[in-house]
Amino acid sequence: MKLNVKAFGLACGIVWGLGMLSLGLMNTFSDWGAGVEGAMATLYIGYTPTLLGSVIGGLWGFADAGIGGLAIAWLYNKFAK
Residue 19, amino acid: G
Query: Are the beta carbons of 61 and 21 closer than 8 angstroms?
Result: yes
Least confident interval from 30-34, 68-72, 74-78: 30-34
What's the CA gap between 44 and 37, in Å, rounded? 10
Q: Could you tell me the residue ranges of all domains in the chain?
A: 5-79
What's the rounded mean pLDDT across residues 62-75?
A: 98
What's the CA gap between 18 and 54, in Å, rounded? 10
What's the CA gap between 58 and 63, in Å, rounded? 9
pTM, full prediction? 0.90
Q: What is the pLDDT of residues 7-65, one digit of tens each?
A: 999 999 999 999 999 999 999 999 888 899 999 999 999 999 999 999 999 999 999 99
Query: Are the beta carbons of 65 and 11 closer than 8 angstroms?
Result: no
